[in-house]
Structure 1
Amino acid sequence: MSQPKHSINATGLADILERVLDKGVVIAGDIKIQIADIDLITIKIRLLVCSVDKALEMGINWWQEDPSLSTKAREKQLEENQSDVVKRLEQLEAKINSD
């Protein structure tokens, strides 16, 4: 009994994936909903598929600043929030002491 043959072997798929991540792929599209030539909703979709290294090379690093994706960004946000709370508390204490 012979084994089933696949149209794409694993090494070919791995090569394609490696090439896509190395070079990157951009998919762009717009969705527009109109009634009587009046635009109601316009949705612009942009998708970039690439490796992290390639994204950094292109100057794309938004995930490093997103608190939900980066612990450093989360810590920075917590420090800023704490600083804001301390300032507001100092203002309240000053207002109470001046009355």
Structure 2
Amino acid sequence: MNKQNVNQKIRPNVDNLPFSEYYNALKDEPKSSPNYPLTPLDEFLIVVGEKLGKHPGTIRRWAYGTAKANLLEKQALAKLLKCDVECLFPASHD
């Protein structure tokens, strides 16, 4: 994916959704324009991956629950999404 096209903006988690639900909500968002190559979800994975030093696939696995982020990764993600770690990763989802 062409990093020049990435907007570098991450939508805050204002609804205080768990990370899996936040991720799924991005799937439903349309592209900003038909000519823009990335979906909001693709863009999110790229930007978060770059900011956290992780592969986008790792971020995806956190959302699907097939991998678990450590505490520092959870804190960094919560900071990016402007919400609490407990909101993103509630104990019942761990």
The TM-score range, normalised by the shorter chain, is under 0.3
- Decide which structure has the larger Cα Rg and report it: 1
Higher strand share: 1
